[in-house]
Structure 1
Amino acid sequence: MKTTLQTNIVETFKNLSEIHSKFSETELNTVPYEGSWTAGQTTQHILKACSGYAALFLGKTEETTRTPDLYIKDIEALFLNFNIKMNAPDYLLPEIIDYNKGEQTLELLNKEADLLTLSAIHDLTLTCLDSQVPGFEKFTILEWLSFALIHTQRHTHQLNEIYKIVNKI
């Protein structure tokens, strides 16, 4: 379970880093169309959404009485449906500023390392009691880490679409 999860972390961040690296600094901060986030804002949203897991996993937990990966398919069905428009909660909204590509690249590497460390040191089968995604039951550590990756995959897709628009591909 841990090896598969860690492989998924590496692959997800490899794909994210590949598309992020394609943007020039100017393209990173170009609004592709009215009402859209820039690539820099999208990346910042991912960084925010991949934060806070260490504290959550050290918070209140309990033994899980169900399959620890029960909700992963449901998370995938929802977040990898690119026809659904979602609104981020306020605390995950990126600031409307110009983002520095180098700083974001370093932050992405740090987030990947953080998630790899968390996946290695924690019992993935424990259920976290201190937070919950609306519409779902409480997640296990495995489901929380999978949620972070699936959410990142959703926005990696978005970054690929933004890249095509700003480069008129």
Structure 2
Amino acid sequence: MKSRTRNPVIILPEAGQALQSLGKALFASAEDNKVPARTLFLAYLRVSQINRDSVCVDLHSRNAMAAGESIERILAVSAWRETTNFSEAERAALALSESMTRLHDQIDPVPEEVYQEAALHYDEAALATLITGIATANLYNRLNVATRQVVDVLSHK
């Protein structure tokens, strides 16, 4: 597979800088609001798996490992409901990630029970961080998928 074009954030550097700033702000917010970076990376990984964005699946897997996440948990993200590898807070973040990503699959895209479960584990500011981060991951995925950005895992060796 070959990319259709360069990534839009490379073609439009101002947009790329704005998204980089947003990403930095989200991780600063996560730290301030006690959302573990590992949780954000797991949420971003799940979003990217659903959206079939190989670049972001690779990126978020590597970032999660760099943040101390185990390979076993990274490999289990796609089947998080069928494993006991995740805390209740992480499960709530993953459920929210899936609901926010699969808007077209449900009559009620982010069901009240999914939102309320996340709200049990994250206060308002932490939940705002998660929601904004999940939305940002979806944005990046859509840019990469539309232009068929391809990860080259062989170059990482």
Q: Does the pair score TM above 0.5?
A: no
Structure with the larger helix share:
2
- Decide which structure has the larger Cα Rg and report it: 1
The TM-score normalised by the length of structure 2 is 0.31
